[in-house]
Structure 1
Amino acid sequence: MPIIHISTHVLKLKPNLPPLGRCKPSLPPSAAPSPRRRCRSSSALAVPTREPVSPPEPPIPERIFSSGAKSGTYTPGDSTFYSLIDSYAGAGDFGSLEKVLHRMRRERRVLVERSFISIFKAYGRAGLPEMAIDWFDRMVDEFQCKRTVRSFNSVLNIIIQNGRYNRGLEFYSYVISSSQINISPNVLSYNLVVKAVCKMGMVDRAVELFREMPLRSCVPDVFTYCTLMDGLCKEGRIEEAVSLLDEMQMEGCFPSAVTYNVLINGLCKKGDLRRAAKLVDNMLLKGCAPNEVTYNTLIHGLCLRGKLDKAVDLLNQMVAIKFMPNDVTYGTIINGLVRLGRAVDGLQVLKFMVERGSRANQYVYSTLLSGLFKEGRFQEARRLWQDIVEGRCEPNTVMYSAFIDGLCREGKPEEAKEVLLEMMNKGSAPNAFTYSSLLRGFFRTDKSEKAILMWEEMENNNDFTNAVCYSVLIHGLCEKGKLEKATMVWKNMLARGFKPDVVSYTSFIQGHCDNGELKEGLKLFNEMLCQGPGCQPDVITYNILFNALCMQGNISHALNLLNSMLHQGLDPDLYTCDIFLKALSEKLNPPQDGREFLDELVLRLFKRQRVVGASRILEVMLQKYLPPKSFTWEKAVQQLCKPKKVRAAIDRCWNDLVC
């Protein structure tokens, strides 16, 4: 009832008001309807129509300029223009903005710096930093508006936010060195330019700017220190970054949690968890409490070092003090557990994660699926897939591919193919990994004909194939003794412009060697040597040729090839030793036990500073009861017990104990 009385009272006061539905432009601002409201028809029978969506009108419409003078009740002042500038700048309407500014210049209105800062920000949001620079010049040349460090910082920030770091440095130098502009940088100016040079990897230049600040009466703040520390850490200059922490405290600038987090992150990436833990203690002593980022960083560092149990303990501690781990933290722990062959523990972390209201992403699920299948935990993997399908997470191509690969590992490629069809029906496109998993699955279950049929279907349907798929097909055919078909696939691969990789070459070489065509295998091997760095023979390739040559009794050729392998920087493995030991005992007359051969091999590796490779050969000798000579033992002790290596081993032990 009060509302009705008020409405009636208003109508009595203004009997000449237009009926609802008309918006009379000549109304004074106090009585004009809000431009945010749309006028509605008073007819109840009117058919509603959907009007085209138009951009929102500014708080003060342009028509006020034409109506104000006629009504005699309103005169547009400077504040009106400022409001229009803010409105058009916020909407990104640069055409209307130009009109308003042109009118202000014509009427000799006063323009303030705040309005130009709104214009700069508008061009920054539109990704047009050059226009912001242009207006920075025009504000003086055309509008006689005095520039201060505020407008300078605004434009500089826009340039840097748009990733134009070089242009930002040019603009900074141009303004600071210009006697006409007469602007001195403040702390924010330095913070912006230090950030730019750090982003460009010019950390030494950032240090110079930092040291220049006191000369310009600028005291670095916590943001300056944080930015410079982050740049130093990313360049691997951790010691310099840590020394800045002491310096800033001596200068009376107290570090924040962000400051500590930058250093902790740098130390964790370096693997120095002991110092990272000490830095956390330092935080607490300074009254700066660790936050979620601190814990997430430490957990990530522990996972990188393989300390998963400590990472899980820290996760429990984090939850106990009401900090919420993020998805990256959970994903890092789960991924680390899977890498260590502890996918079941990863499932427990996933359960812990879901119970606390976090949702695992598709990467976490695909990682767990792959890990469970690789460990032979087929039932757990299927249960997890069932949970996914029932609504935990929408499967994507990566998740489907992980499940298909797992089914093939389980020896069920037929079921995997059904999942492939389901995947395609639901709109997820298979990739090369999906197809290569299925091909590998058919070959593993002695269904090479089905693998070939599937390949033909893929080619007929123009499905995605690449060098990996060709490698899998060639390897499978050669392994099953189908060298003729493998040769056809090889030629088809070359004709379609795909370059063979190490797996393709190695598989094809093995196919020829198994077929008694050693000459062809050596020809392919020499062809490999002529390829680029990404397609050089590995120890598996060499072992195939060692075995083939030794089987034919050509031990001297095999030894020459071994020398070539050592020159290429490859170390022999257990299989290499077994091949030569067998050849020396069976193909020579009189037979040899191989002790001399392995002893010499150890010395050659030590001479080349290949300590790891030499240590492996020593282990083989001890396992086969072929004790090395005393001189070889002496050389081994000298190499393995160097002071630096002993000190590094002790440091690692202490690091394990502390962390």
Structure 2
Amino acid sequence: MPITGFISKNLNTRLFIISSKLVNYSFCSSCWVSNIPAQNLSQIDDETCSDIESPINNDIFNSSKKMGSYQLGDSTFYSLIDTYANSGDFKSLERVFDRMKCECRVFREKDFILVFKAYGKAFLHEKAIDLFNRMDDEFNCKPTIRSFNSILNVIVQVGQFEKALNFYESVVECWNMMPNVLTFNLVIKALCKLGKVDNAIELFREMPVQQCVPDGFTYNTLMDGLCKNGRIEEAILLLDEMHIEGCSPTPMTFNVLINGLCKKGNMSRAAKLVDNMLLKGCMPNEVTYNTLIHGLCSVGKLDKALSLLNHMVSNKCLPNGVTFGTLVNGLVKQGRAVDGAALLISIEERGFRANEYVYSSLLSGLFKEGRAEEAMRFWKDMIGKGFCPNVILYSVLVDGLCRVQRPNDAKEILSEMIHLGLTPNAFTYSSLIKGFFKSGNSQEAILTWKEMEASNCFLNVVCYSVLINGLCEEGKLKEAMAVWRKMLGRGLKPDVVAYSSLINGFCKAGLVEQGLRVFNEMFFQGVDSQPDVVTYNILFTGLCNGNRLSRAIDLLNGMLDHGCDPDLYTCDIFLRILREKMDPPQDGKEFLDELILRLCKWQRGLGASNILQFMLQKFLPPEASTWREVLQLCCKQRKIVAALEKCWSDLFH
């Protein structure tokens, strides 16, 4: 490897390392002997180590003055270590270390730390640990807490948290190393990442005993771990403790707590925490505002989020791509894609450039709202502004066109995409296959599948699920079973969608028993294969169409026992069968009332309130006792009392 223009400083002498070539070399056994007199080190040449071919000119190592324990040319070695570590050239690093050993050079701890960091960047933490263990015996450089922390940080940064804890325990125990604040911070971070928050708190309480005072990073890490485990109250108590201990919170401290509250949907308390932040003289930054805006969008308070954007600008805190992306995405999720498009135009006029994720969210939202023409105009405007669509955007366009029953147009977009050198992914092809099936063109869907296979596109479970579902909807159960066997033959594990699609095929063909056998198989598979309400509804429909109401009710009981709540479609299936198949016909009110009470008994308020809503839509007034159970489960007593008092006040005043 050529080395050009590399400058090294040694005391007052500037050494210019001129171009030379690194070649493979090895050392003779005499090079590893450590008893060479220091005064003869400068005389080591090709005769002393005949197998060495130096990576750079030997004269450079001998051209500087000797001072203290350092030898001629030491600074050149250290500069080489710095250069090779920064470039990740580990082979050259090994050669430099080998030559330093051969010449009995002094190894410094900070040079090892440079190499540790380089190994960390390259995700070679095992090599870093190995080098740490060899420091003392092989290189005569005793590691201190600095080396220990450097290795610990490398292991944590690459996400090997369990290994970091094992390394910490082994070094503290065997090397008698006294941890400092940084050590504790890294170990607490590893424990929190593993979800072992109680262990992290225990270690945090031990810090003063070890003469270590927790700093802001300690508190922030522990608060973040508590918030991610849903223990926000404990995290907020730590903020008070932080004040008592004289450790000043930073914006990051408040941001951690605000983020935890926003994820819980507790926006009022998050706002109060911002007020507390201001009282402490800690100014909100863009992360604070972005967190609050994201939280408001998550709970559907878009108008407040937009108002907060204006407040952010007035406080001279510039919004960024995350801010606008969150707002646009929030508008799209609320079915306000047109407002999202208007906001995007507004921010682009101010010089902000949206990324592909914002564009894809907006484009997808317009199609989902049935605004295909506006979506296509948006696409053309985007291209006209010089934005080059990537695979994600093209895939969203293909999916959108298929949603509005335009699969032929979508196929033209696919051809355009390939012509531009972009490779369609599994999502692109799956959307097109689904589109052709929905439009009744199963032949074109199968041709697209074959085209996907020929393109060597990675075929995942989703692709097979789409094909199986399409074939089953077309009544081609035999072909669907062939695809199912092919999927299993490739070692792919069916998910709940694939299973539900196959069960649907059996039920449509009147083979409900075979569908039930496949259904029972799902319980022995992984979490992704467990039946959901869609699976149950398919079987309810099949059983009820076959006049097997008692078996359907047994299955409903099993569904409730497995923690799966019925939805509105479930209620509609049973309501229809009770009215059409029972003699005498029943309106279903008693059946649904009992279902609500069972859900209330198991504290499943969402499912109970959904069925209550369904009853009201069908003009089936629930019993007074049913109303009471749902209200007590879903509403806080204080709010119920306040609402009743307000009603009385409005009536009589």
Equivalence for 1:130: 129
What one-letter code is carried by the residue in structure 2 that aligns with 1:387? D
**Matched residue SS, 1:35:** strand
1:285 aligns to 2:303 (yes or no): no
Aligned equivalent of 2:212 = 218
Structure 1 residues 376, 302: closer, same or farther in 2, change over 3 A?
same
Q: Where do residues 126-275 of structure 1 align in structure 2 (5 Å cutoff)? A: 126-127=119-120, 128-134=127-133, 136-138=135-137, 142=140, 149-150=145-146, 153-154=149-150, 156-158=152-154, 160-161=156-157, 163=159, 165=161, 168-169=164-165, 172-173=168-169, 184-275=178-269
CA distance in 1, matches of 2:354, 2:274: 28
CA distance in 2, matches of 1:404, 1:432: 12
The aligned length equals 582
Aligned AA (2:521): C
Matches within 5 A, 1:48-447: 62-66=58-62, 68=63, 75-77=65-67, 78=70, 81-92=73-84, 93-100=93-100, 102-104=102-104, 115-127=108-120, 128-134=127-133, 136-138=135-137, 142=140, 149-150=145-146, 153-154=149-150, 156-158=152-154, 160-161=156-157, 163=159, 165=161, 168-169=164-165, 172-173=168-169, 184-390=178-384, 392-447=386-441
Contact 1:124–1:132 (Cα < 8 Å) also in 2: no
Question: What SS does the aligned partner of 2:259 have?
Answer: helix
- Amino acid paired to 1:403: L
Q: Judging changes above 3 Å, is the alpha-carbon distance between structure 1 residues 649 and 174 closer, same or farther for their aligned structure 2 residues?
A: farther
Partner of 1:46: none
**3-state SS of paired residue (1:530):** helix
- Which residue matches 2:479? 488
Q: Percent identity?
A: 51
CA offset digits 1:135-187 (Å, max 9, x no partner): 54259x836x7x76555545554554455555655565566557xx7764443
Secondary structure in 1 matching 2:103: helix
The letter for the 2-side match of 1:137 is D
Distance 1:235 1:623, change over 3 A: closer
Deviations, residues 17-53 of structure 1 (Å, cap 9, x unaligned): xxxxxxxxxxxx9999962677xxxxxxxxxxxx989
Q: Classify the secondary structure of the residue corresponding to 2:230.
A: coil
Provide the rounded CA distance (Å) in 2 between the counterparts of 1:565 and 1:193: 44
Q: In structure 2, how many angstroms separate the alpha carbons of the residues matched to 1:171 and 1:500?
A: 39
Structure 1 portions without partners, runs of 5+: 1-28, 39-50, 69-73, 106-110, 653-659
More displaced 10-residue stretch of structure 1: 580-589 or 306-315? 580-589
Verify the 8 A CA contact 2:81 2:96 in the aligned structure 1. no
1: CA distance, partners of 2:109 / 2:411: 63
Following superposition, the deviation at residue 313 of structure 1 comes to: 1.8
Q: CA deviation at 1:637?
A: 0.5
Deviations 1:491-518 (A, max 9, x none): 233134256554455455555555xx53
- By how many angstroms is 1:364 displaced? 1.9
Matched AA of 1:120: I
Q: Secondary structure at the match of 2:262?
A: helix
What letter is aligned with 2:631?
L
Structure 1 CA distance for aligned equivalents of residues 192 and 566 of structure 2: 44
Q: Which amino acid in structure 1 is aligned with residue 81 of structure 2? A: A
- In the aligned structure 2, how far is the partner of 1:589 from the partner of 1:291? 68
Matched to 2:410, the amino acid is A
Change (3 A) 1:362 1:80: farther
Quick one: distance in 1 between partners of 2:298 and 2:252? 22
1:161–1:86 distance in 2 versus 1, CA, 3 Å: farther
The separation in 1 between residues aligned to 2:460 and 2:515, in whole angstroms, is: 21
Superposition pairs of residues 469-480 of structure 1, within 5 angstroms: 469-479=463-473
Deviation at 1:210, TM superposition (A): 2.7
Q: 1:581·1:594 contact (CA, 8 Å) conserved in 2?
A: yes
- Cα displacement (A) at 1:263: 2.0
Q: Which residue of 1 aligns with 2:16?
A: 35
Provide the secondary structure at the position in 2 that maps to 1:381.
Answer: helix
Inter-CA distance 246–424: structure 2 relative to 1 (3 Å threshold): same
Counterpart AA for 1:64? I
How far does the alpha carbon of each residue in 1:629-648 deviate from its partner, in whole angstroms, 9 at most, with x for none? xxx42243034225973348
Letter in 2 for 1:99: R
Q: Does the CA contact (< 8 Å) of 1:84 and 1:100 recur in 2?
A: no
What is the CA deviation profile of residues 517-556 of structure 1, one whole-angstrom value per residue up to 9, with x for unaligned ones? 53x1332223222223544554444445544554555544
The verdict on how the C-alpha distance between 1:248 and 1:539 changes in structure 2, with shifts beyond 3 A counting, is closer
The answer to whether structure 1 residue 523 and structure 2 residue 504 are counterparts is no
Indicate how the Cα distance of structure 1 residues 252 and 616 shifts in structure 2: closer, same or farther if over 3 A, else same. closer
Deviation at 1:418? Answer: 0.9
Deviations 1:369-409 (A, max 9, x none): 11111111222211222233345433222211110111122
Distance 2:169 2:554 in 1: 63
Work out the CA distance in 1 between the residues paired with 2:600 and 2:398.
Answer: 46
Q: 1 or 2 for the larger relative contact order (CA 8 Å, sep ≥6)?
A: 1
Does the 8 Å CA contact 1:295/1:318 hold for their aligned counterparts?
yes
1:331 partner amino acid: G
> Given the two structures, how large is their TM-score scaled by the length of structure 2?
0.77
**Equivalent residues in 2 for 1:618-637, closer than 5 Å:** 618-628=612-622, 632-637=623-628
For 1:468-500, what per-residue CA distance to the aligned partner results, in whole angstroms no more than 9, with x for missing partners?
A: 344334444444xx42x3422322331342565
Q: CA RMSD in A?
A: 3.9
Q: Within 2, Cα distance between the matches of 1:253 and 1:310?
A: 33
538-547 or 324-333, which deviates more: 538-547
Mean Cα deviation higher: 523-532 or 187-196: 187-196
